[in-house]
Amino acid sequence: MAENSSPHVAHAEPNYIAIWIWLAILTVAEIGATFLPIPHGFVAAMLVIMALTKAILVATFFMHLKFERRTLAFIAATPLVLCTFLLLMLLPDAYR
């Protein structure tokens, strides 16, 4: 029987429970942030930062990007860069 020729590098299994707990803590923090008596713009910025943190945790550990080559991580980050660019370029049109 032929052996698998793909180069598989062994790595330690991530602690999925700890990552899940961090995701739950961030979710509770997001819910709590909506009730804070601070300006809505600051709340929106906090929510975006927490959502990006959660997305990075999911991509890094559950999608196993931490253990892949850097080029695959760049490919996965490209939509975020494009979305941010489009948002910033089209935002002035929303206030006309």
Q: Which pLDDT tens digit goes with each residue over 58-88?
A: 888 777 666 667 777 677 778 888 988 888 8
Question: Whole-structure pTM over 0.85, yes or no?
Answer: no
With respect to residue 5, please indicate whether it lies within any of the assigned structural domains. Answer: no
Q: Which pLDDT tens digit goes with each residue over 44-58?
A: 999 999 999 998 888
With respect to residue 38, please indicate whether it lies within any of the assigned structural domains. Answer: yes
The count of structural domains within the chain is 2
Q: Residue type for 91, please?
A: L
Residues 55 and 76 in one domain: no
CB-based burial, 30-68: b 16+ in 10 Å, e otherwise: beebeeeeeeeeebeebeeebeeeeeeeebbbeeebeee
- Residue 79 lies in domain: 69-96
Q: Which pLDDT tens digit goes with each residue over 17-38?
A: 999 999 999 999 999 999 999 9
With respect to residue 59, please indicate whether it lies within any of the assigned structural domains. Answer: yes
Mapping DSSP onto H, E and C, the string for the chain reads CCCCCCCCCCCCCCCHHHHHHHHHHHHHHHHHHCCCCCCHHHHHHHHHHHHHHHHHHHHHHHCCHHHCCHHHHHHHHHHHHHHHHHHHHHHHHHCC
With respect to residue 42, please indicate whether it lies within any of the assigned structural domains. Answer: yes
